[in-house]
Amino acid sequence: MLHHHLALTAARVPDRPALVAGGRRLTYRELDEASTRVARGLIALGVERGDRVAIQLENCAETVIAIYGVLKAGAAILMVNPSTKAPKLSYILGNSRASALITSGAVRQSMPGLVLPPHVRVSVIVGPGPDRPADRATVPWDAVAGTPSTDPLPDRVIDLDLAALLYTSGSTGDPKGVMLTHRNITTVTASIASYLKLTQDDVVFNVLPLSFGYGLTQLFPTVMVGGCLVVEKGIVYPHVTLTQMAAHRATGFALVPTIATTLLTLDLSKYDLSHLRYITNAGAGMPTEVVRGMRRALPDVRLYLMYGQTECLRALYLEPDQTDLRPDSVGRGMPNQELMIVDESGREVGPNVVGELVVRGSHVMAGYWERPEETARKLRPGKLEGERVLYTGDLFRRDEEGYYYFVARQDDIIKSRGEKVSPREVENVLYTLPEVLEAVVAGVPDARLGQAVKAYVVLKPGATLDERDIRRHCAALLEDYMVPSAVEFLKELPKNERGKVAKRELVATSHPD
């Protein structure tokens, strides 16, 4: 079970540092005990085996304690981005039938009008509470975290039970819950720890949201090996981040291409990064010129280019000694899994033929929460009777030496700042503006973001919305990374002969800002 890693590490190296977050430092014994208290507190509040407990917090010590507390209580963690707004949070809580929500006063403050579905029996609030009438039952975090007993709990789950439900954007607009079992996550955790050669001497510096699969894969392998995780609330000031990395003697750092591009605006030689052993990239492919820039700026740091998706968390990494030779590859695959590239009929193709990447392994998700049709499209019969393998929806090719190269996505999902943006989800929000006649959203190339989210809007006759109105409306309802960075107003949308909006033509012919 995933939380056994924590108990085992705490028994092995109780006094080693586990977590540094803000001003707080916790040893493994302290993290183990704190999360047991939270587990006991949640059980006392009625959380049962198999429940989903939503965690919507900024990166902080409580987030990590809550994650292990929920797991020890036999429930699954339902991680929600702290910038998710009320309508989507309501949808996720309703869809998952979560029984509890762990959040902060600050996050709740940003969600006026949130009505919790009735099955959410309790909200646990970290920090000062929201200035408004209490929810059905609001419990301060300190009451849960102050549960007296730290006696280990008996296991309430087996490794086929859900450990995490992670919502991911889909082409249809409604996010869907990726079901990851304990076994799924422990498998990928062991693979990552092995190929990154993590040890208890590692100090992993994490600025990625822990609500994001790539953030969670910083936490779990670090805890498994007994290393120290430094948790920061993202990067706003790169100079401050680099200074912190030097001060903490970080040995590992995970980034997405947007962060790399930001760091490269600074002179990295001014910071003492002599302890830094490796950097990983995932979330989106790192453009070759950025790879070369990072290698020039930090020649002694091993740079791992990786590929994964929430449905299996990780599948590929490039051995760092290959990075200069094939900066456009994501390697030959992790240990303990099999990869295939198949054509449209599902037949394996040979070298240098483009096809869909298929992943076989015990890290492949159990399915989408209560979405049998979408599950059946993504998980299809594999080699052995009854087994299912993951059709990633991503097009790859493999060279003669077995190295994989990402080619394209098969759907129209936008990748901005390493995060997935569903055009449909943004369009749905645009259509809630009464002035909007038609709207379409597409990704346009952007040096810093990878792709920028751009909205093309046709207004109803006589309507007078401007770009700011539209972006403000989106910012009130969508996560920060989904808000269009540009809006173009058109008299009509170009359509093909079947009446479908010709997105490619739109992106090609419209004017960049």
Partner 1 sequence: MTNVHAATDVTAEIRAYIVDRFLFGKGDGLSNSASFMEQHLVDSTGILEVVMFLESKYGIKVADEELIPENLDSIDRIAAFVRRKQA
Binding residues vs partner 1 (CB under 8 A): 82-83, 106, 110, 233-240, 258-259, 262, 265-267, 270, 448-449, 468-469, 471-472, 475, 480
DSSP string, 186-216: HHHHHHHHHHTT--TT-EEEE-S-TTSHHHH
DSSP string, 417-438: TTEEE-HHHHHHHHHTSTTEEE
Handedness of CA 205, 212, 291, 512 (dihedral sign): negative
Q: Locate all alpha helices (DSSP H) within 52-114, ordered by sequence.
A: 61-72, 86-96, 105-109
Q: Which residues, other chains included, contact 75 with Cβ-Cβ below 8 Å and sequence gap of 6+?
A: 42, 47, 48, 49, 50, 51, 52, 53, 99, 100
Nearer to partner 1, 233 or 495 (CB): 233
Nearer to partner 1, 66 or 242 (CB): 242
CA 410 to chain centre: 20
Nearer to partner 1, 215 or 361 (CB): 215
For residue 295, with 0-12 CB atoms within 10 Å meaning exposed, 13-18 middle and 19 or more buried, which class applies? middle
In three-state secondary structure terms, 184 is helix
We find the least distance from the C-beta atom of residue 259 to partner 1, in angstroms, to be 8
How far apart are alpha carbons 494 and 201 in whole angstroms?
57
How far apart are alpha carbons 281 and 283 in whole angstroms?
7
Amino acid found at 235: I
Q: Which residues, other chains included, contact 215 with Cβ-Cβ below 8 Å and sequence gap of 6+?
A: 59, 206, 208, 209, 254
Nearer to partner 1, 49 or 233 (CB): 233
* Residue of 461, 463, 464, 472 lying closest to 430 (CA atoms): 472
Nearer to partner 1, 196 or 421 (CB): 421
Nearer to partner 1, 165 or 449 (CB): 449
CB 494 within 8 A of CB 502: yes
* Residue of 122, 76, 117, 119 lying closest to 103 (CA atoms): 122
DSSP 458: E
Nearer to partner 1, 267 or 385 (CB): 267
Nearer to partner 1, 94 or 238 (CB): 238
Nearer to partner 1, 240 or 508 (CB): 240
Handedness of CA 460, 461, 467, 472 (dihedral sign): negative
